Chains A and B, each alone.
Chain A
């Protein structure tokens, strides 16, 4: 085991850039993905029928195909098609459309939106109808019922599953190394190419990921405990969780 390359500022820079990009990608995808998940869930429950069906199709496709394939589809497939549109290379959004980060984030947002949207839909369905009627009876508008009552109650019910989705998101980030985005794995690959070491850089980022998973698990556990309506001591919802049993689906 030779870890002497760790002292080289050149390689340190790779690792730091990879680490920062990894964190950025997780943050952007988590926020964007969860926002999309709310839209997906509400479109499937309350949207007009054509929209509900379209969203259901989107969910089935995103959950039934490998994330790696989706990444290639958007980066190489859609990306190359966009390249062919006349004039687009002079437009203001072109730097964005050329950036692998954009495609990585786009794919992850859609993926998180599809998986978490399904979770959220199930949770929205298990909030008792009477609570929403109570909200209406107190004079809340339908929008207020959704934002202040229905959605928060649903999130209470499915929070452990949603935090599980975030861990899975963290673990899918290395896939972006295949579209030449500088994440931790890509940093390790570059270091391996330059130092001819097979295992050491991979083991290092394996350790970093292990630590990141642990830290994220602890942080999310705190979020679960402090979410309004959760009983702090038991750390679980005080209503029985009636969500369908599922583990899911990484890649």
Chain B
């Protein structure tokens, strides 16, 4: 049984790198879509129209109260069933690999959107009321006010929360391995069981994820400094 353990980390470096790229692709796409969902959700939660407010509250509360893994499994089955139905109806069949990627992104974005809704809502509420009134007094249209005042004023407040969500998202991509889509952690699991070097490969997985999260933290810190450049230097901590 020992001739199996000849292959080691070097033989798996290629697939693992590929998996890491897939993980990053999934994370970036899911983050972008989650951001859009979060903006829509936050606007809906702050809208004057009660049914819309109720719907958005239901979305963000229910999704945040159920474990991510459970949601991911549930939505994965529901999502891939729906997607297969759509592609079959359009005359394609058997595009399981693409479907796996699309559902992985969709599921993570859906969960991410709920958390993003709350982060953005809090950040929008933290904008001093006078700034919005000033925009109205200057005759800004609703869109111009949103784009020129609300977004730039909210971003510095939202950024710590957004950075946290990005870190959560990177770590949540590992959950995709549970449903068998071949991203970083799924590849690692295959490598570990094929070489029987469990300790080595799971430690390597930890190092790769750590590299991703640490470099993201550094990037977000720079971004926040840049976004706060117009603000008075309020000494934190």
Interface string of A219-251 (1 = CB under 8 A from B): 000000000000000000000000011111111
Contacts of B201 in A (CB 8 A): 77
Partner of B185, one of A63, A68, A185, A245: A68
Shortest C-beta distance, A206 to chain B (Å), equals: 5
Report the Cα distance A173→B69, complex, angstroms: 9
Interface flag for A65 (CB, 8 Å): yes
Interface flag for B210 (CB, 8 Å): yes
Contacts of B214 in A (CB 8 A): 60, 64
Scoring A68, A210, A248 by chain B CB atoms within 10 A of each residue's CB, the highest score goes to: A68
Report the Cα distance A64→B167, complex, angstroms: 8
Of the candidate stretches B42-50, B70-78, B147-155, the one touching chain A is: B70-78
Contacts of A206 in B (CB 8 A): 66, 70-71, 74
State which residues 160-215 of B face A: CB under 8 Å.
160-161, 164-165, 167-168, 170-175, 177-178, 185, 188-189, 192, 196, 198-203, 205-206, 209-210, 213-214
Interface string of A50-94 (1 = CB under 8 A from B): 000000000011011111111011001110110000000000000
Check if A209 sits within 8 Å of B65, measured CB to CB: yes
Check if A172 sits within 8 Å of B77, measured CB to CB: no
Contacts of B237 in A (CB 8 A): 244
Interface flag for A98 (CB, 8 Å): no
Check if B198 sits within 8 Å of A67, measured CB to CB: no
Scoring B70, B119, B213 by chain A CB atoms within 10 A of each residue's CB, the highest score goes to: B70
With A78-B199, A172-B67, A249-B164 as contacts: A64 and B210 at CB distance below 8 Å: yes
Report the Cα distance A177→B70, complex, angstroms: 11
Contacts of B196 in A (CB 8 A): 80
Interface flag for B90 (CB, 8 Å): no
Partner of A247, one of B65, B66, B164, B178: B164
Interface flag for A28 (CB, 8 Å): no
With A77-B199, A249-B164 as contacts: A68 and B175 at CB distance below 8 Å: yes
Looking at chain A's contact residues, the main secondary structure is helix
Report the Cα distance A63→B175, complex, angstroms: 16
Report the Cα distance A245→B172, complex, angstroms: 21
Report the Cα distance A214→B188, complex, angstroms: 36
Partner of B77, one of A64, A198, A214: A198
Shortest C-beta distance, A68 to chain B (Å), equals: 5
Shortest C-beta distance, A184 to chain B (Å), equals: 9
Interface flag for B31 (CB, 8 Å): no
- State which size class the interface on A falls in: 35 or more
Interface string of A198-226 (1 = CB under 8 A from B): 11001101100110011000000000000
Interface string of B96-117 (1 = CB under 8 A from A): 0000000000000000000100
Check if B65 sits within 8 Å of A246, measured CB to CB: no
Contacts of A251 in B (CB 8 A): 68-69, 168, 171-172, 174-175
Report the Cα distance A173→B170, complex, angstroms: 19
Report the Cα distance A68→B209, complex, angstroms: 11
Report the Cα distance A245→B210, complex, angstroms: 22
Check if A209 sits within 8 Å of B68, measured CB to CB: no
Report the Cα distance A60→B202, complex, angstroms: 17
Partner of A173, one of B67, B71, B161: B67
Report the Cα distance A43→B74, complex, angstroms: 42
State which residues 160-182 of A face B: CB under 8 Å.
170-175, 177-178
**Contacts beyond the supplied A175-B69, A244-B237: 9 A-B pairs with Cβ under 8 Å:** A60-B210, A65-B209, A65-B210, A73-B202, A77-B192, A244-B160, A247-B161, A249-B164, A251-B171
27 chain-A/chain-B pairs, Cβ below 8 angstroms: A61-B206, A63-B213, A64-B213, A65-B206, A66-B174, A68-B175, A68-B177, A69-B205, A72-B189, A73-B202, A78-B199, A171-B66, A172-B67, A174-B67, A185-B70, A198-B77, A199-B74, A203-B74, A206-B74, A210-B62, A210-B66, A213-B65, A247-B164, A248-B164, A249-B168, A249-B171, A250-B172
5 closest A-B pairs by beta carbon, nearest first, are A77-B199, A66-B174, A66-B171, A73-B202, A64-B213
A residues in contact (CB < 8 Å) with B: 60-61, 63-70, 72-73, 76-78, 80-81, 170-175, 177-178, 185, 198-199, 202-203, 205-206, 209-210, 213-214, 244-251
